[in-house]
Chains A and B, each alone.
Chain A
Amino acid sequence: MIEILYFAWLREKIGLPRERVETGAATVADLVQELALRDDAYALAFADLTSLRVALDQELADFDAPLAGVREVAFFPPMTGG
């Protein structure tokens, strides 16, 4: 089981802030592909990966990063702090 978190407009497009998912995805990109196949809302949210960032267990990562051992995956738009 993996905990998936969504923030900002991604959270709004998908319609929930977090969910637990049973997945065999090997990488972040594989997980994205699985999610995008669910329905139009997910497909739309993940349509353009260049506009998204991902963190694995609270650390920024790349979309080709492996998911083995990861407990929490967070997807979000580019950050706007400061």
Chain B
Amino acid sequence: MTAPLIRVEAAAFDQGAELNRFASAAGAAGAVVSFSGLVRDEGGILEALEIEHYPAMTALAIQAIAEEAARRWSLTATLVIHRFGRLVPGEAIMMVATAARHRREAFEAAEFLMDYLKSRAPFWKKAFTAGGAEWVAAKASDEEALGRWG
């Protein structure tokens, strides 16, 4: 497996271009799965989402999660892009992509990455609405989701 590609950045990224580049580099793998997380509009009330992170730790934590995924599934390549800063509804917050010889491995590894990025990568979201600003609370279901990976 090639080293996981990990990017933590403020700038917007082009999901299509990223996926095409990833898929062509992953080449002969056979299966590529990708997931993008977008800012939800929360029924039209959300004005912006501000994402804070812990710069000295973020890439290290994502690296550790990606390495664990590579131990569990035979991946040929992994990509994680996660943004920080102020984003508006519809913008992509993050994407993961996995490449493997068979789709099941690529799907499972992508889900594993998402589950761990949710509650083990040092990001915090603050939601801004006309009514004010509020930190987004972690969900018990996000923590429970880790349980299925043993």
Q: Kindly state whether residue A60 has any CB partner on chain B within 8 Å.
A: yes
Contact assessment for B54 and A7 in the assembled complex, using a CB-CB cutoff below 8 Å: yes
Write out the residue numbers on chain B whose beta carbons fall within 8 Å of the beta carbon of A55.
54, 57, 122
The DSSP consensus for interface residues of chain B is mixed
* A3-18, CB < 8 A from B: 5, 7-9
Contact assessment for B138 and A79 in the assembled complex, using a CB-CB cutoff below 8 Å: yes
**A49 CB, min distance to chain B CBs, angstroms:** 15
* A63-82, CB < 8 A from B: 72, 74, 76-82
Write out the residue numbers on chain A whose beta carbons fall within 8 Å of the beta carbon of B136.
80
| Separation of A11 and B135 alpha carbons in the complex (Å) | 12
**A11 CB, min distance to chain B CBs, angstroms:** 8
Give which listed residue, B114, B126, B137, contacts A82 with CB less than 8 A: B114
What would 17 A/B residue contacts be, using CB atoms closer than 8 Å? A7-B54, A7-B122, A7-B124, A55-B57, A58-B56, A58-B57, A59-B57, A77-B135, A77-B138, A79-B118, A79-B124, A80-B137, A80-B138, A80-B142, A81-B121, A82-B93, A82-B121
Task: Name A's B-contacting residues (CB within 8 A).
Answer: 5, 7-9, 55, 58-60, 72, 74, 76-82
Task: Name B's A-contacting residues (CB within 8 A).
Answer: 37, 52, 54, 56-57, 60-61, 82, 93-94, 114, 117-126, 135-138, 142-143
